[in-house]
A = this chain, B = another copy of it.
Amino acid sequence: MTSLTCLERFKQLAEERSSLLCVGLDPDPERLPEPVPKSIAGIGGFLLKIVEATREHAIAFKPNFAFFEALGPEGMSLLQALIREIRTHTPVIGDAKRGDVGPTADRYAHALFKIFGCDATTVTPYQGEDAVRPFLTYRDRLVFVLGLTSNPGASDFQLPSLFRDVVRKVRQWNDHGNAGLVVGATRPEQVREIRELSGPMPFLVPGVGAQGGSLEATLRDAEDGSGLPCLINASRSILYASSGANYAEAAAHAAQGLREQISRAKSRGSASP
């Protein structure tokens, strides 16, 4: 790896690869393409092919820890090896949604950044400052705190107003400029407000593909003048683009399509009055 911070590396790649795309890696044995063996080795080979096929279109890969933990300790070994491989060319967001009291958060941060070697991670804010700070002490990494998520349950607690408190606090805690926010694309009406509250920091935006958020509005409202307002994540729509032997080409095609869709939405957004 270079000595750039994760955020600097994202900005560099966003230019080099003309992309804001993050490819999520959620290996579900029930959804693997037909020809892929449902074994650790099979899943590993599948993911590496997806990564190779899509890397020119992506500025990040986001393995979802749950899907690897569900494969047991061998799945965690696979995850560790996979991250090591991906980082040789593209930063890795370890999507783990961890959150616990200070001394435990410290161990989770160590696990994610030092043992698994992630460049960035996702963190749950429910337990407050001492649950988030230990991650932020890794100044060269990036920490996406859950702000307003894209799932139906977001309306249970995050809405109508908790997400605002979280965004304000994350801004306060951002001493090292390495905080970001998870902001669901299914709620475009709130993206602008979250940006006003957050100031410049990257958003990680899930829910554009399968969950059908509005890309153009999200990109316009997330703009922060920093060169990297947001990363747009897609997981299943790329990973499982085909259930046949052509899954890697199909994934590449889906990733390229979404990258171009992002570019068009971006230029339309900036061209609009």
Contacts and interface: CB of A to CB of B under 8 A. Distances in A.
7 contacts: A26-B104, A66-B111, A70-B115, A72-B111, A124-B127, A127-B151, A129-B153
A64 B104 contact: yes
A269 interface: no
A247 interface: no
Interface of A: 26, 28, 64, 66-67, 69-74, 76-77, 79-80, 97-105, 107-108, 110-111, 115-116, 124-132, 146, 149-158, 162, 165-166, 169
Copies held by the complex: 2
Nearest to A28: B107
Given A66-B105, A69-B108, A131-B153, 16 more contacts: A26-B104, A28-B107, A66-B107, A69-B107, A97-B124, A101-B150, A101-B153, A124-B124, A125-B126, A126-B126, A126-B158, A127-B149, A127-B151, A128-B154, A128-B156, A156-B165
Nearest to A133: B153
Contacts of A28: 107
Contact of A98 (B66, B131, B165): B66
Most central of A104, A126, A129, A149 by chain B CB within 10 Å: A126
Contacts of A108: 66, 69-70
A269 to B, nearest CB: 26
Contacts of A74: 73
Contacts of A156: 125, 128-129, 165, 169
Contacts of A132: 153
Contacts of A111: 66, 69-70, 72
Nearest to A122: B100
Contacts of A166: 157
Contact of A151 (B72, B130, B152, B162): B130
A110 B100 CA distance: 21
A85 to B, nearest CB: 15
A136 to B, nearest CB: 13
A131 B151 contact: yes
A200 B64 CA distance: 35
Contacts of A66: 98, 100, 104-105, 107-108, 111
